């Protein structure tokens, strides 16, 4: 083989930068045309373009890249597209912060321009990080949700779902964030345990307990449990609400817990989800005491204009002053917060757009999808089972896909855009036809679509929906985090069913979250955030990717620890040493030599290694088919370090440096095959390193090569058993030398091996000694050669006389002392007197004599190894 100079140390950054420049990224492009290969379309998560491709993103993309690279090598036509989910609150909030404005202080079009400008710059930054990490993205299938070429599909999906009856417009209670001034879906509500006060208040016939006294103006009923005898005489009667004075009815409902508080509760519009249920069930009136900015309305009387916190404080003070508030107790409460700004959400009744939830269809589709790991499916099932309200898809923001709707000023009818008009912004364009009533004057819909309406059609988009290509749904896999199962996974299944009647993907693989080095979720406030760039700068992209592979199994959270990256970097150096040594012995070995090599020339240890190698290929293939990245990489690393480096290379050095051309050629063949195979096995995980390895085998890229195929004929238990014996004997002899302080290449007089049928040539080479395979069993005897007194025993007993006793023992014949010890007592003469000593006071050292020679005996898995000294 021709060999360019291989440096002693592996320079990761130099190698990685070289291949970043050299790689032709078109080798990762999906072929939309006729292709004999089976398709493998990945429904890649489109991240928010924050400009910071954080470590959680990076872990997710590592998983995707392992899959994409592996599947290409397995012969699939792979699409690994990259999308950018541009719309939504994070971008708007950042723009407001950067420009020191609110969204309402500049024209809509200007605000959208600011958002697009920020987003485009952030995308560019994140693209660079992704390229630096070696992700094999198909950039020819990149999509950006803020571009008309993408959001036209979001609008088309809206129009079709509206026309098919999946979408409706209704005044309905929704979760509302007063800070962001928009509705949010239940899936976007996060919960946190907070301390509050439970207030005990006298009403005129009952006492109630409430955590929301500020909503008493919106009290429309009081409820008790029908089995609660304390209040049975008042059920159905009117009760006056203190301070505010409205009369409400006392109703009986089994949902009330008699043990909580006083057993009587206010029903307000709306304090929580339970209030909404009761409001619907009993047809109660609607009192809007809170506005969209989180301030009290006219319905609150003298408290109008106050914030919720101000109103609560004022109402409590007034209740106390009037003698209505008689007790307060601390209470821990699960509070719903806005996912973006952590403001407690409220429930307001507003006209909004909703998508109907198809519970049965979603659960059926979830069962048709293969989940990795399987238990993650339960999260989707549980969420689907608890969905009481339809999905609220309208948002009172600006930077998002416009809802293609107008309202007729004359008759109020909805005018929905026709597909041929799309993409369109109703705030900038009018309908291209008159209303059914003849009017041409319209009011545009100013609400925009939830950003999940964009991202929940990614599976459709990447599969060619509404494009010049035929639809290839379902895609093959959705990789995503477990934190967005209830949003992205749930909504994507819902949309694919509604629009095409099909599941979105065949499989879904779930990754966990990345925890900081302290074991906590990464956050700026904790100061435990690590960026991928920090790791690549200090170590390398391949070291980072290795951490991602071995950090944990799919679905589980992964802790980032610098020591794991250091360990990964050390493996790269170790693998480089293995590679460098192997290539130094392959200078005169060509690919044609490998093709023409006769396997009959292999030695036992060669067959042992090739059997282990093929088992590794078998294991890696099976594990990667199940997306078990951690166990796959650990198996590869273990083989390279322990089996190949620590054992095989040591065993074949004799042949590689020796005079036997046939034995050397066999070792070269094994090194060539093993090193080349390892470069292929490593390619999905550490693509830069693998490319550098493979570059000395071929001018083609390792990433265009086929995955190794198992050669069943080379897997042999017999060869492995014989090889293990050779390995173990050699290892024991090397340990023997080390224990005696000998150099490992120092020759021994002779090594004789009994009770083993093995090839001894490689043992001789590895031990630099003559090795004989002997028939029968060895004959040897143990000859006592030295008496070793035990001073720990003799000192305390004989005190001053101990020295004389030791001299007397050492003067005796060791064989005689051994014979006396066997009889139970030892007698020696000290200063003319006989002294009896217990056998445990001495140790008799023996030498092994075989055929008149002094030998040492090693027992290795039933084989007897004699070392002649």
Asked if residue 186 lies in contact with residue 352, where contact means CB atoms within 8 angstroms, the answer is: no
Query: Which of 72, 47, 67 has its CA nearest to residue 130?
Result: 47
Q: Which of the 8 DSSP states describes residue 401?
A: P
Q: Which residues on neighbouring strands pair with residue 442, listed in sequence order?
A: 408
Cα gap 204→231, rounded to integer Å? 12
Neighbours of 390 (CB within 10 A): 19
Q: Which of the 8 DSSP states describes residue 84?
A: E
Cα gap 144→625, rounded to integer Å? 31
Distance (Å) of CA 533 to CA 55, 362, 786: 9, 39, 66
Q: Which ranges constitute the DSSP H helices of 373-457?
A: 377-386, 451-455
The dihedrals phi and psi of 655, each to the nearest 5 degrees, come to -75, -40
The dihedrals phi and psi of 261, each to the nearest 5 degrees, come to 60, -120
Asked if residue 63 lies in contact with residue 554, where contact means CB atoms within 8 angstroms, the answer is: yes
Give the chain's length: 869
Tell me the Ramachandran region of residue 756: left when phi exceeds 0, alpha when psi lies from -120 to 50, beta otherwise.
beta
Burial of 127 (0-12, 13-18, 19+ CB in 10 A): middle
Asked if residue 530 lies in contact with residue 55, where contact means CB atoms within 8 angstroms, the answer is: yes
Asked if residue 727 lies in contact with residue 51, where contact means CB atoms within 8 angstroms, the answer is: no
Q: What's the first-to-final CA gap in the chain, in angstroms?
A: 43
Strands 833-837 and 826-830, by their bridges, are: antiparallel
Cα gap 218→842, rounded to integer Å? 97
Is residue 524 annotated as involved in ligand binding? yes
DSSP 213-254: GGGGGGEEEEEE-TT-TTSGGGTT-EEEPTTT--EEEEEE-T
- The pair of structure tokens assigned to 617 is 């290929």
Annotated binding site: 524
Annotated binding site for ATP: 524
């Amino acid at each position: 083989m021709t060999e360019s100079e291989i440096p002693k140390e592996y320079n990761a950054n130099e190698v990685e930068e070289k291949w970043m420049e050299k790689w032709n990224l078109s080798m990762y492009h999906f072929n939309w045309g006729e292709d004999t290969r089976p398709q493998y379309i990945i429904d890649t998560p489109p991240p928010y373009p924050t400009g910071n491709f954080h470590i959680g993103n990076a872990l997710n993309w590592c998983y995707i890249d392992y899959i994409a690279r592996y599947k290409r090598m397995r012969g699939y036509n792979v699409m690994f597209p990259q999308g950018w989910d541009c719309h939504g609150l994070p971008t708007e909030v950042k723009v407001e912060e950067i420009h020191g404005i609110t969204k309402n202080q500049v024209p809509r079009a200007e605000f959208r321009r600011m958002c697009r400008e920020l987003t485009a710059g952030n995308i560019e930054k994140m693209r660079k990080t992704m390229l630096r990490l070696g992700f094999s993205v198909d950039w020819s299938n990149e999509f950006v949700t803020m571009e008309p070429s993408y959001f036209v599909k979001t609008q088309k999906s809206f129009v079709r779902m509206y026309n098919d009856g999946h979408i409706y417009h209704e005044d309905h209670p929704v979760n509302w964030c007063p800070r962001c001034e928009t509705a949010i879906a239940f899936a976007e509500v996060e919960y946190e345990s907070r301390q509050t006060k439970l207030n005990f208040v006298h009403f005129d016939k009952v006492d109630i307990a409430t955590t929301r006294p500020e909503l008493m103006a919106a009290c429309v009923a009081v409820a008790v449990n029908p089995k609660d005898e304390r209040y049975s005489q008042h059920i159905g009667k009117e009760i006056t609400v203190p301070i505010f004075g409205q009369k409400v009815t006392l109703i009986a409902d089994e949902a009330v817990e008699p043990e909580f508080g006083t057993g009587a509760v206010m029903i307000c519009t709306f304090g929580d989800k339970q209030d909404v249920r009761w409001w619907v069930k009993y047809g109660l009136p609607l009192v809007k005491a809170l506005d969209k900015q989180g301030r009290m309305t006219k319905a609150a009387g003298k408290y109008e204009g106050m914030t919720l916190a101000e109103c609560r404080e004022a109402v409590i003070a007034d209740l106390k002053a009037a003698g209505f508030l008689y007790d307060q107790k601390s209470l821990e409460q699960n509070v719903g917060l806005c996912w973006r700004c952590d403001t407690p959400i409220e429930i307001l009744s507003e006209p909004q757009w909703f998508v109907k939830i198809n519970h049965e269809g979603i659960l059926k589709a979830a069962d048709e999808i293969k989940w990795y790991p399987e238990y993650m499916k339960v999260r989707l099932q549980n969420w689907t089972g608890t969905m009481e309200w339809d999905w609220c898809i309208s948002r009172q923001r600006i930077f998002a896909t416009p809802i293609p709707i107008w309202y007729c000023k004359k008759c109020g009818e909805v005018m929905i855009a026709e597909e041929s008009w799309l993409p369109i912004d109703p705030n900038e364009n009018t309908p291209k036809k008159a209303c059914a009533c003849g009017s041409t004057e319209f009011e545009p819909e100013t609400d925009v679509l939830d950003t999940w309406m964009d991202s929940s059609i990614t599976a459709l988009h990447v599969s060619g929906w509404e494009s010049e290509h035929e639809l290839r749904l379902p895609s093959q896999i959705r990789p995503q985090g477990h934190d967005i199962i209830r949003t992205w996974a749930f909504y994507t299944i819902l949309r694919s069913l509604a629009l095409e009647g099909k599941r979105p993907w065949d499989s879904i693989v779930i990754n966990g979250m990345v925890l900081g080095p302290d074991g906590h979720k990464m956050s700026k406030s904790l100061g435990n955030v690590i960026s991928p760039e920090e790791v690549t700068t200090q170590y390398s992209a391949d070291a980072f990717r290795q951490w991602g592979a071995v950090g944990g199994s799919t679905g589980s959270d992964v802790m980032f620890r610098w020591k794991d990256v250091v360990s990964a970097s050390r493996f790269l150096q170790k693998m480089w040493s293995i590679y460098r040594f192997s290539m130094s012995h392959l200078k005169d070995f060509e690919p044609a030599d490998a093709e023409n090599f006769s396997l009959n020339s292999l030695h036992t240890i060669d067959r042992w290694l090739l059997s282990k190698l093929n088992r590794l290929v078998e294991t890696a293939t099976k594990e990667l088919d199940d997306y078990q990245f951690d166990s796959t990489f650990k198996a590869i690393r273990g083989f390279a370090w322990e089996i190949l480096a620590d054992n095989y290379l040591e065993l074949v050095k004799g042949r590689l440096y020796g005079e036997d051309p046939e034995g050397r050629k066999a070792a070269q063949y094994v090194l060539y095959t093993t090193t080349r195979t390892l470069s292929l096995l490593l390619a999905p995980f550490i693509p830069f390193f693998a490319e550098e390895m493979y570059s000395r085998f071929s001018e083609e890229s390792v990433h265009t090569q086929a995955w190794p195929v198992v050669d069943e004929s080379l897997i042999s238990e017999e060869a492995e058993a014989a090889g293990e014996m050779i390995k173990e004997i050699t290892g024991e002899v090397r340990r023997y030398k080390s224990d005696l302080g000998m150099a490992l290449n120092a020759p021994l007089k002779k090594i004789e091996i009994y009770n083993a049928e093995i090839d001894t040539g490689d043992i001789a080479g590895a031990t630099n000694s003559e090795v004989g395979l002997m028939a029968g069993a060895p004959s040897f005897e143990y000859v006592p050669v030295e008496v070793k007194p035990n001073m720990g025993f003799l000192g305390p007993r004989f005190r001053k006389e101990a020295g004389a006793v030791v001299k007397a023992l050492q003067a005796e014949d060791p064989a005689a002392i051994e014979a006396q010890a066997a009889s139970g007592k030892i007698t020696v003469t000290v200063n003319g007197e006989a002294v009896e000593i217990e056998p445990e006071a001495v140790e008799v050292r023996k030498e092994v004599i075989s055929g008149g020679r002094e030998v040492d005996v090693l027992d290795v898995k039933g084989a007897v190894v004699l070392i002649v000294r």
